Structure formats: C-alpha cells, structure tokens
C-alpha cells in the first residue's frame, strides 16, 4: 500500500499572521492515519516560521522551488541545502506556472529534480498538458517529454525517492477538475512508462493529481488505483478545505 500524500502548494499567498494561523489549524486537525501524509509548501519567507510550528507534528514541510545550482553567485535563488537545513523534506519542481511564466525548460526542471535529491529532499515533479495540447491529442506526448528529461538525467532509480504530480494546466485554478477517468488514464500512462523501465520503482512511486481538487471531488479522484493523493492550490489556503481533502483520503485507507 503506497498510502496517500495530500500536499498544499500555498503559491505566493499569505502573510506572517496568515501562515501561522493556517499551519496551526492544519496541525490541530491533521488525521492520525499512518497512511495519509500531509505536507505544506509555504512561500520561502515563511518556511522557517512554519518549520518552528510544525516541530514534532506529523505534518511535513516542503518548498515550492529550488535552484539547480549548489551555491554561488545566483542572486535571488535558493539552494537545496538551505531548504533542507530549514527542515524541508520535499520540494516542488516543474510546476506549470514556473514552466510557463519563468521559462523553465524540461532540462532545467530535471536539474532541479537532481539538485533536490542531492540536498536530501524528495522532489515533487509536476507534469501536465495545456488545453490546446489535450485537444490536439498530445497529452501523452507532452508528459512523456517532461518525464523523459528527468529519466535521462537522473535515471529510473531516482524515482525511488520522488513523487510525481499530474497537473493538467487547464484544471489549475479554473474550477475545471479533470474527471476521475481522465486523471486515472494519465496516471496509468505515467506508471506504465516507469513500469517498462523498473517494475518495483513504478509500483512504489506516488503519483498525485493536482488541479481544482476540493473536498467534494477528492474522494472520486483518490479512489482510483493510480492516484495517490493530491497537490492542492486554492483549497490548501483554508484549513477546513484542506483537511476535508485529507479526510477523503483517510476514508479510503
């Protein structure tokens, strides 16, 4: 049993006060299940504060981005070692907002994936197609290219300590969730791709779905055999919404 991971990507939202209140409420309401892991990924300025609050709680901490470089003259960038030192165990790489708005190529994403692992963190590799690509029948080809860049650089064994998040770009922040069937189809394709290279690695890797996940659609998505949780944007900013999604996972274990 792979168990579930319910991860909150807070994106560029909040304040010192809002982050503190949100994380306090998540800690207080986190389910006790060993098979449902909760993760919060605050903006960089709040990581330290959130880390202090998480202390001995079972809610995990992650970051939203990491530099592909180890250290040096990279103004404005953040090294994996710095995030690890603050207590981050996970880091999101290749979110579609970074690919589309910050010009991150699949190669840069692959380098970030590797940098995260070298710093001792688990990368959450985001993949997903735009609406135009889906309508043109290119969904699998787009995901293959995004996945292949990482496989070529890091190798299949690297997925022993990685998470994949399928986030169709058209479903992010739009309220247009992929149907459970659409999501499961892509998740199966991703796992089958990994299976063709290494069966037990493919069997162990968690594949999350992201894109307008809410408390009322999470159960339908998570009940599919290849969907191992969610990467949650908007609904991760309200503790009741985020905890309702976690509860949907608890009901399935």
- Of 43 and 198, the one with the shorter C-beta distance to ligand 13P is 43
Q: Please pick, among 37, 95, 97, 129, the residue that the annotation labels catalytic.
A: 95
Cβ-closest position to ligand 13P: 233
Cβ 57 vs Cβ 23: under 8 Å: no
Cα separation, 82 vs 76, in Å, equals 13
Shortest distance, position 11 Cβ to ligand 13P, whole Å: 7
Shortest distance, position 8 Cβ to ligand 13P, whole Å: 8
User: 3-state class of 91 per DSSP?
Assistant: strand
In the block, which residue shows the tokens 């169709």?
168
Identify whether 167 is a catalytic site residue: yes
- Of 95 and 206, the one with the shorter C-beta distance to ligand 13P is 95
Cα separation, 77 vs 7, in Å, equals 23
User: Binding residues for ligand 13P, per CB under 6 A?
Assistant: 9, 95, 167, 172-173, 210-213, 231-235
- Of 213 and 246, the one with the shorter C-beta distance to ligand 13P is 213
Shortest distance, position 44 Cβ to ligand 13P, whole Å: 16
Identify whether 198 is a catalytic site residue: no
Shortest distance, position 209 Cβ to ligand 13P, whole Å: 9
- Of 159 and 242, the one with the shorter C-beta distance to ligand 13P is 242
For 64-88, letters b (16+ CB in 10 Å) and e give bbbbbeeeeeeeeebbbbbbbebbb
CB-based contacts of 151, cutoff 8 Å, min separation 6 = 197
User: 3-state class of 224 per DSSP?
Assistant: coil
Q: Please pick, among 37, 129, 167, 187, the residue that the annotation labels catalytic.
A: 167
Shortest distance, position 130 Cβ to ligand 13P, whole Å: 13
Paired tokens of 211: 């894109």
Which of 120, 119, 121, 113 has its CA nearest to residue 154? 113
- Of 108 and 201, the one with the shorter C-beta distance to ligand 13P is 108
- Of 110 and 235, the one with the shorter C-beta distance to ligand 13P is 235
The DSSP bridge pattern shows strands 122-127 and 229-232 to be: unpaired
Whole-angstrom CA distances from 71 to 4, 38, 47 are: 34, 30, 19
Cα separation, 184 vs 163, in Å, equals 16
The C-alpha angle with vertex 155 and arms to 151 and 158, in degrees rounded to 5, equals 105
Shortest distance, position 165 Cβ to ligand 13P, whole Å: 7
Q: Would you please indicate which residues are annotated as catalytic (active-site) residues?
A: 95, 167
């Amino acid at each position: 049993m792979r168990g579930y991971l319910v991860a909150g990507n807070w994106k560029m939202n909040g304040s010192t006060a809002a982050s503190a209140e949100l994380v306090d409420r998540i800690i207080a309401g986190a389910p006790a299940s060993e098979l449902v892991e909760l993760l919060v990924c605050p903006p960089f300025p709040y990581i330290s504060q959130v880390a202090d609050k998480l202390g001995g709680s079972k809610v995990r901490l992650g970051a939203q981005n990491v530099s592909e470089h180890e250290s040096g003259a990279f103004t404005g960038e953040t090294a994996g070692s710095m995030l690890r030192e603050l207590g981050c165990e996970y880091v999101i790489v290749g979110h579609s907002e970074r690919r589309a708005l910050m010009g991150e190529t699949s190669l840069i994403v692959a380098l970030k994936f590797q940098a995260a692992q070298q710093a001792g963190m688990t990368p959450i590799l985001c993949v997903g197609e735009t609406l135009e690509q889906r309508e043109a029948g290119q969904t699998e080809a787009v995901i293959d290219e995004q996945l292949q860049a990482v496989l070529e650089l890091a190798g299949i064994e690297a997925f022993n300590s990685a998470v994949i998040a399928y986030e169709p770009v058209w479903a992010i922040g739009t309220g247009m969730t992929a149907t459970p069937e659409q999501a499961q189809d892509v998740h199966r394709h991703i796992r089958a791709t990994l299976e063709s290279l290494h069966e037990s690695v493919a069997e162990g890797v968690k594949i999350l779905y992201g894109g307008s996940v809410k408390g009322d659609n999470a159960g339908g998505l998570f009940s599919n055999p290849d969907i191992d949780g969610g990467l949650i944007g908007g609904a991760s900013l309200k503790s009741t919404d985020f905890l309702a999604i976690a509860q949907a996972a608890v009901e399935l274990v």
